[in-house]
Structure 1
């Protein structure tokens, strides 16, 4: 058994654009209702979300975005009609927000489509980061929407106008709250299932729309009680709610763009790798989001007596365990370090050690100078 076989630079990783597991044929049911449910309800052909393929998750995200867009569009059309006959500023603010929110769904769908493109030499990690770029665009639209609502509310206070058809406004507010909450629940569930922060944010945004619709209802009640400026003041409250959503959206998108993940992701990866038979210890573990999929890599210590083939098989086993256990992971790279008698040889990283820090580089240069002299 040759120790030369243990090249510690052994990196092992595959891009997995497929699901692990036999999809098999399963019954979607028959009849009109079953067909509608199959289209609308997010689902995977595999019971384990950890092994849902990239194509499946992207298609599910696109489906959720389109269905949410249809629901919000129907709500907005109804509200536009009622704004025209009632003159409610609060309802106008809510409607403008809904229309703006619906408009941001189109770029998200485009981003999902772009993310399905194959990697190229220029974009060797693929195009899924387009989702996060769209997240920044969505944040800009949210900010513009808040600014417009504030402007309209100020104008309503300076130039008040009589409200009419308050029962219509009241009813539209209730419809808006219910419709937006349905869209929110659907998008958030789908977003969590596929790991899309952008889709989850869109769902949370829809939920905020529902809250602002409730605020419209409260504004109408205020007018009924004799507080004529309640409608315009509620418009300011809606703007404040939108700005709160903006801060949350920017924070989430920024974390993704800075390669941030939740702590439990690294903890789960470490646990799965450590529990794999043959792994002596686990070193650095990293993960980052690429759109709605996770890329991960880890350094593991193994017995130096393993051959290259055996080390490769162990790395393959680790990768397989991760793909089947940690949700949303698509690619895993395992770097194998040989261990002799439970200790990594000091010369293991001697060749590249001087690249790790300024102090290490200075030490390396000093040794080189001493050697030349």
Structure 2
């Protein structure tokens, strides 16, 4: 059912608005039509979840961007009409060209982005968390890095940890949230330098650098590359409700022969729930226990799916051995700290195993098995939180 659809072009109105209610929480291209303007170079996708109080800050940062030829595509995932009305009102007040969808159930982070992906044909897409804040040069510098090489499929900027204060720039130079993903082994792909400070790492982040992949919190993607490595021509695995979908995408892009880059001039800020500087596995699991059980189960389940999707002798025996050890530690510590999470995740994995194996076969038809180690920097500490 169409909740509201207001037509027009950017020249007709200061903002083009589409407000759409999806009865089943799933997108159908037959449900409505939005004009797909081929001139739109950049689409910005935002998944909202009980974040209306932070949304205004995010839009204010986009209004100040040096680059303004973009459209916003938002999915309100809160399943709360008051939140939807607040988000809609904030979008209208911003004057930015925008479209917003909602549904009657939470379809998860990945599927919300998949639904938004189908709404447009922009060659470049920025996935943006609702708890993020961009500096004015972020869009321009990230796009410049993307366009410098046709093999570049994803770009990450330098993301600092943000406490939600009025002035995010006051935290610049303090704790790093992520500078892209690094690959240690198939079972251990993490955010580069997460929880460290610029003082800790010296000059390691001063220059652009090829990296393994990008965090889904703030990620610039090339549409053609993403669709080339997906059976559904979508960014994320539809079976992933939340967590690890960006890791899966990074692996698929690498298997497809594409590269990812870190651009230090693209600076942004991101609020993250995990404790800063968490190093040990036990401390990490204890911190994870503060999250809702359903989300912890999703993280564990999706990691096991990743192992099935991408395991291959091409990884090398060292990678396979490290992954086995890492997975054994993960299972033991998860079981000791939260047995119910472990058993529910294990049950869900067994139920989903036939579909997981079918998807592995689809990926093998689509993408070659490749060695993944050596595709990212070494000696960097970090933690995978999304």
TM-score tier after normalising by the smaller chain length: under 0.3
TM-score, scaled relative to structure 2: 0.21
User: Which one has the bigger helix percentage?
Assistant: 1
Q: Which has the higher contact order (CA 8 A, sep 6+)?
A: 1
Query: If the length of structure 1 is used for normalisation, what is the TM-score?
Result: 0.22
Please tell me whether Structure 1 or Structure 2 has the larger radius of gyration of its CA atoms.
1
